[in-house]
Amino acid sequence: MPIQARQSQAKANVALVIEAVYAVAAHPDRWDQLIDAMAGDGAAAATMLSADAAGRAAPPPGQMGVVRIGARGGVAAWNAAGEAVFHQRLGVIEAGGLTFFNPSNHEALDQARSRLRAAAGGQVIVKFTQAADEAPHLAYVIAAQDLPESLAFGLNPLAAGGEATAAIVFPAVEATDRLWANLRESFGLTPAETRLAARLKEGLTLKEASGELGVSINTVRNQLRAIFDKIGLSRQSDLIRALTQLSSLAGSLGDGLAAGPVGPVISATERGAVQSAPELRLLRLADGRRLAWREYGDPDGVAVLVIHQGLGCSVLPRGSDALARDLKLRLICPERAGAGRSDPMPGFSYEGVAGDHQALLDDLGVDRLRVVSFMAGAPFALATAARLGRRVERMLLASVRPSGIMVETERDVGHKVVQFRRRILRNSWLADLLFAMMRRQINPRQVERFVRAAASAPSDAAYLAAHPGVVEFIIDYLSESLAVTSKGIADEVKLAARTPRLELRGMTAPITIWHGADDPMTRLDDVRAWLIGRISHERLFEGTGHFLPHKHWPETLAWLAEP
């Protein structure tokens, strides 16, 4: 294919992914749209966009617009796409600042910058009001130092604007327009119904929406009824029916319990794992970062370093503290840099995380230990064992996710979360933006949908159906892992994508592998090929898939406690 044709296709591929990201920012429940959008060769597309045939820098991926703002609101730098988007829809760029057609946009931007200052970083999604129509124009406001290098490259500086403190990132104009055009075209919504849908998406009540749109409450009710009819919803009637049934059931239980002096019923539940977990502790590392960690079980027991999965934290399933204490285990659970409550790590690496683990163990005076890891925690466990050498007696890696980009095959069809992992690794340049947006919009319903999608193997689906409390635990677990930042998971994705093999000189501990026979993400053969003969023992669990670590958690602790 000629170079110009390949560049054109690369831009189209990246633009599709960028559009999908902003669609998810507007409607988080549609996260799986990203899987289809990332089906192309995103890594090759990003590489192609980095330079043209003569080696000169090309425009940013997907024609994303960037405008850097100084401390006093003046423009410090911009790219051509940022200038074009702003001029076409919002106002003009001047040395003294941004002039919006709609003054309310000044206030929105000022609030976004204030929030960034108060949080000392982070990201804010802003919906600017456009001059010509009712469709919202989303922009992503971040601290200037957090602007990805791929977007910061090639900006036109403007000295009068001062040093940049914030940056506005605009999606392509056509991406935002298409989001609402698709809503109108797919369901046949009128412009008025589309405007109401946009307000309700932002969290406005019907009364607030009627006031903002300048129509009566009866009008918006009729429009909402029309939206429900066209999209096929009947949530209000379902809710009323469910509440009625629950009310009747509560009354029946009350009559039965009133007969005798019976105390409150104690229920085994996974809910509230974060609230019931041991106290979170913080270790100040040599470079000033904080490493968060928890300890479960017997302080004088056999030390075990527990290394969590990718979207994970130091919270273990409820009952772990008592079980570990009974087994005389001391479970030490650190949170990787940028995950949970641990500070991000500049130059994030497997060796750097291993160094954090060594610092924690040295501080605790732990000379001998065992190591267990789950899923994408395996590379970090191996790097730690290589660094600690003979201090590690043995290690268990459960449901291993090898580092490196895995080829997508026909057997991945129908497994949405498998395809998501394959494709985000191929498009790792997108990780910062994607996970930051997903974190801002995270909610229990969204996490539950993701968890149920992960249960694509029949054995996993059956396990969740028989243990519904597991979903409650995972909601708490994932939410806690993203409580402060999405930097950790984004850094992990990029690191895994560029590291197909690990340097494991110095590792002496025998490796035991536990793997589910139904695991759709990775086959045992894939793990063997990645570890190239280093496995000492392996066990394949029939009738088990993605949820092996949770399903066999008590058995895992029992194995770690063996003499």
Comparing 377 with 551, the larger pLDDT belongs to: 377
pLDDT value at residue 201: 56
State how far the Cα of 73 lies from the Cα of 112, in Å rounded to an integer. Answer: 12
CATH number at residue 396: 3.40.50.1820
> Do β-strands 329-334 and 535-541 pair in parallel, antiparallel, or remain unpaired?
unpaired
pLDDT at residue 535 in the model: 96
Position 48 scores a pLDDT of 35
- Indicate the pLDDT class of residue 145, thresholds 50, 70 and 90: confident
On the question of pLDDT at 258 being above 70, the answer is no
**Mean pLDDT to the nearest integer, 273-289:** 93
What is the per-residue pLDDT for 37? Answer: 65
Tell me if 413 is assigned to some domain.
no
Are 111 and 216 members of one domain? Answer: no
463 compared with 99, residue with greater pLDDT = 463
86 located within any domain:
yes
In a domain, 380, yes or no: yes
pLDDT for the residue 332: 98
Give residue for tokens 């799986």.
32
- Examine the pLDDT at 72 and tell me if it is beyond 60: yes
Lowest mean pLDDT across 120-129, 234-243, 319-328, 433-442: 234-243
Across 40-46, average pLDDT: 44
- pLDDT bucket at 32, cuts 50 / 70 / 90: low
Q: What per-residue string of b and e applies to 168-185 under the rule 16 or more CB within 10 Å gives b? A: bbbbbbebbbbbbeebee
Percent of the chain past pLDDT 90, that is, above it, reads 35
Q: Decide if 332 contacts 363 (C-beta within 8 A).
A: no
Same domain, 197 and 285: no
Q: Quote the Cα angle for 73-76-79, to 5°.
A: 120
- What digits encode the pLDDT tens for the residues 155-198? 877 655 568 888 888 765 544 444 445 445 545 668 787 777 66
> Is 207 a member of any domain?
yes
DSSP for 483-525?
SS-SHHHHHHHHHHHT-SS---TT--S-EEEEEETT-SS--HH
Higher-pLDDT residue of 3 and 537 is 537
Confidence of residue 99 (pLDDT cuts 50, 70, 90): low
A 10 A CB-CB count for 112 gives 21
pLDDT band, very low/low/confident/very high, at 122 (cuts 50, 70, 90): low
Question: Phi and psi (nearest 5°) for 254?
Answer: -60, -40
Which residues contact residue 22 at a Cβ distance below 8 angstroms, ignoring those fewer than 6 apart?
Answer: 138, 171, 175, 176, 179, 437
Q: Are 12 and 6 in contact (CB under 8 A)?
A: no
In terms of pTM, does the model score above 0.85? no
| pLDDT (0 to 100) of residue 398 | 97
- Strand duo 281-284 + 290-297: pairing: antiparallel
Q: How many CB atoms lie within 10 A of CB 549?
A: 20
Show the domain range for 226. 188-231
Mean pLDDT of 111-130: 73
Q: Is the pLDDT of residue 10 over 60?
A: no
Q: What is the per-residue pLDDT for 98?
A: 59
Does residue 125 sit in the same domain as residue 224?
no
Q: Which residue from 499, 482, 485, 487 is spatially nearest to 350, judged by alpha carbons? A: 499
Q: Is the pLDDT of residue 540 over 90?
A: yes
Based on the fold, state whether residues 166 and 226 are members of the same structural domain.
no
Q: Is residue 289 part of a domain?
A: yes
**What mean pLDDT value characterizes the chain?**
77
- Please report whether residue 30 resides in a domain: no
Residue matched to tokens 């396990």:
463
Task: Please indicate, yes or no, whether residues 281 and 325 belong to a single structural domain of this protein.
Answer: yes
- pLDDT tens digits for 504-529? 988 999 999 999 999 999 999 999 99
List the helix and strand counts (H, then E) for the chain.
24, 16
Q: For residue 19, is it within any domain?
A: no
Residues 446 and 453: their CA atoms lie apart, in Å, by 11
For residue 334, pLDDT beyond 60: yes
The structural domain count of the chain equals 3
Q: Please report the DSSP string for 35-56 in residue order.
A: HHHTTS-HHHHHHHHH--TTSP
- On whether both 173 and 201 belong to a single domain, the answer is no
Q: 310 and 336 share a domain?
A: yes
Pick from 1-5, 59-63, 82-86, 273-277: least confident? 59-63
One-letter amino acid for residue 36 of the chain: D
Name, of 101-105, 470-474, 553-557, the range with top average pLDDT. 553-557
- Which of the given ranges, 247-256, 274-283, 468-477, 507-516, has the highest pLDDT on average? 507-516
Q: What is the DSSP string of 365-406?
A: T--SEEEEEEGGGHHHHHHHHHHHGGGEEEEEEES---SSPP
Alpha helices in 90-168 (DSSP H): 104-119, 149-152
The answer to whether residues 373 and 516 belong to one domain is yes
User: Is the domain of 518 the same as that of 545?
Assistant: yes
Residue 205: CATH number of its domain: 1.10.10
The amino acid at residue 42 is G
Q: Contact 537/512 with Cβ under 8 angstroms?
A: yes
Query: Do residues 223 and 151 both lie within one domain?
Result: no
CA–CA separation, 348 and 387 (whole Å): 16
Residues 327 and 356 in one domain: yes
Q: What is the DSSP string of 412-458?
A: GTT-HHHHHHHHHHHTGGGHHHHHHHHHHH--HHHHHHHHHHH--SH
| Region of residue 290 (left: phi > 0; alpha: psi -120 to 50; beta: else) | beta
pLDDT digits (tens, 9 = 90+) for 397-425: 999 999 999 988 889 988 989 998 999 89
The answer to whether 488 and 512 are in contact (CB under 8 A) is: no
Question: Which pLDDT value is given to residue 250?
Answer: 31
Q: Same structural domain for residues 389 and 525? A: yes
CA 402 to chain CA centroid, Å, is 19
Could you tell me if residue 21 is inside a domain? no
